[in-house]
Structure formats: structure tokens, C-alpha cells
Amino acid sequence: MSDIHIRIEGRAGRITLTREKALNALSYDMCLAIDAALKDWAKDDAVALVVFDAAGDKAFCAGGDIAELYETGTKGDFAYGRTFWRDEYRMNARIFEYPKPVVSFLQGFTMGGGVGIGCHGTHRVVGDSSKLSMPECGIGLVPDVGGSLLLALAPGRLGEYLGTTGYRMDAGDAIYAGFADHYIPETAWPALIKTLEETGDTAALEAAAQPAPESKLQAMQGDIDATFAGETAADILTVLRGREDSFAADTLKVLERGAPLSIATTVEMIHRLRSSTVTMRRALDLEYRFTYRAMDMGDLLEGVRALIIDKDKSPKWQYADGNVPAVAVSQMLQPLGAEALSFEEES
């Protein structure tokens, strides 16, 4: 497949995203190819570890390829999107639960679907160009691909802040928030990958890692915890509107652009995950409840139209006044019964 290069080099299973012109956006076929390789290598003693990287310097993976989702969804065909998400989420879980080390090199943009393949492994490497984010609320989705688990585990109320604003983390932020492990200058990456291929040993990563750059998020932690501690998105907005400072003003500006239903549901998801015995499968199950309904009950098609297709940047959101009824959030997160996400596809 021209969009992805999958092979074994020495002791390493190698997965390189090669859709450089599309910022290595993840297609359904790429998801299936990654999943198939991971299944094979799990049982192959010749493969000691897995390495993810990507072509170009602009992006590791700027998200999922939503053109097909939009095209099918606008015709009333929701099955394609539901199948894509189901199989993608199973692949995300496989990376998280993988029995061998999984190393990812995250240059440039790592967003949405890119987080799902790049941030669930055992050794997540960032450099000076790295920009990580979960911007789904801006198009009428919620942080998915297992991102809600990372958000629920982030320090303090960072999860609510990152999940609703889509804030772009640099290398220092990503390590502080738990989305990455090692800061290594990008000039060192090619030689490191060669060493991983030759040795099958991750010790070289720890040896090459340098102290993480200062995190802007860490400096903002006090403001974030003070304003994002509410039970609901409405509580958060009330606190922000009651403050007269640049942090509150800047944050409100971003939140008021996003889809209100998505923002309200994101806050609820993170709270549920944080208060439960949190697992990757629990997070993916909750995410799938929303994405399963995102096109017919949510704002996804309108968000994609306004921001990506027509680019008028004037989406007509549901609950545009920001007052999202609790029942609307509950409906998006109701169990799916027979349609629930399952992980027993191989049994």
C-alpha cells in the first residue's frame, strides 16, 4: 500500500506512514494494515519490538481521514463510519495491550487518530517540532481513539482543558500531560531507529533522552484547576465568565467556537472514566457510544462541512447558546446494546 510501509528490519517490526502530502492522515485501509501486522508480529519471535514513524517533517499523523466519513454520512450511510471507528478502536486497544515494546517517533502534528497510534505504546518520543492535540470538539466529535483515557489520567483538570479546547502541546507539555515519555532531538532519531532495528532493545532510548523542555501547561495548571473543576461544561463556562483575566478570556474564545454538545459530553466522559476503574477498553467503549451516534444525533457532519469542506467556519451547532441539557449528553453516552464495541472478534 502506497500510504504505509510495513516491513521487518532486523529485530524491529517497522510501520512508516507515507501519506506525507495528506499529513499522514489515517485511512481505514491503513488501520486494517497496521492491525494485521501487529497480530502477526505478536506471535513472531524474530520481532522484538515495533517502531512507528512517518514520512516528512510536518506531521506524524494529523488525524483520521474523514473525507470518506463525510461523503457516506451525508448520504445517510452511517455504517461506514461506525465500521471505521470500531476497527480503529480495536487497533488502538491492541497497541495499548501489546506484549512487546512499541516505540513511536512523533514529529510535527500528532492529532486525533495520530494520538491513537502514536501515544498508546511503551516508548513515545517527541522533539522540538512536536505538536500534539485532541481537537475533536472543534468538528463535533469527542476525543476518541483512546485519547479519553490519557485525558482522564492527566494531572489535575488538564484532561478537561485539553479535551475541550484542543490545546496544542509541545514536547514539554506532552511529557507533562502523559502523552509522551522521552524528549530526544530529532536529528538523533534516524540513528536511534537503526539501533533499535539492530538490537531489538529499547535501552538506547533511555540513554538518548534529554531533560524535557519546560511545560507551559504546568505553568497554567493553577488556572486550569481553578476553572475546570466543575461537574459540567456549564459550570466551567460559568466560572470562566466570572473571571476577568487573559487566561479566562482566551479559553472562552476557544470553547465558544467548539460544538457545545461535544464539549459537554467530553467533560462527562472524563469524569466517568476518572471515577471508575479506568481501562483502555472502558474508554474506547464510552467513546464509541458517542461516535456511533455522531453523524445522526451529533454535530459531526455540520462541523466537517463548516471547517473542512466549505471552510466557511460558521457551523450551525445544536445548543448554540451553550445550554446543553443533561439528557442530551446522557443520550449520546447510552449503552449501545447489541451494537456495543466488542474486542472478542478473534475468538
**Ramachandran angles phi, psi of 208, nearest 5°:** -85, -15
What whole-number distance in Å separates Cα of residue 167 and Cα of residue 155?
15
Choosing from 65, 144, 173, 268, which is the catalytic residue?
Answer: 144
Choosing from 13, 53, 63, 64, which is the catalytic residue?
Answer: 64
Q: Residue 291 carries which side chain, given as an amino acid letter?
A: T
Instruction: Examine the residue annotation and report whether 88 is marked as an active-site residue of this protein.
Output: no
Choosing from 65, 136, 285, 287, which is the catalytic residue?
Answer: 136
Q: In what order do the strands lie in the sheet with 49-54?
A: 4-9, 12-17, 49-54, 102-106, 123-126, 182-183
What whole-number distance in Å separates Cα of residue 161 and Cα of residue 154?
10
Choosing from 73, 81, 112, 113, which is the catalytic residue?
Answer: 113
* DSSP for residue 98: -
Please compute, for residue 25, the number of CA atoms within 13 A of its CA located in the half-sphere on the CB side.
9
Instruction: Examine the residue annotation and report whether 97 is marked as an active-site residue of this protein.
Output: no
- Residue 121's alpha-carbon distances to 98, 124, 299, in angstroms, are 8, 7, 31
Sign of CA dihedral 133, 139, 143, 146: negative
Task: Report the phi/psi class of residue 3: left, alpha or beta, with left for phi > 0 and alpha for psi in -120 to 50.
Answer: alpha
Cross-strand bridge partners of residue 183: 126, 210
**Contact by Cβ (8 Å): 85, 65:** no
Instruction: Examine the residue annotation and report whether 113 is marked as an active-site residue of this protein.
Output: yes
Instruction: Examine the residue annotation and report whether 172 is marked as an active-site residue of this protein.
Output: no
CA angle 84, 87, 88 (to 5 degrees): 75
**Contact by Cβ (8 Å): 29, 36:** no
Catalytic residues: 64, 113, 136, 144
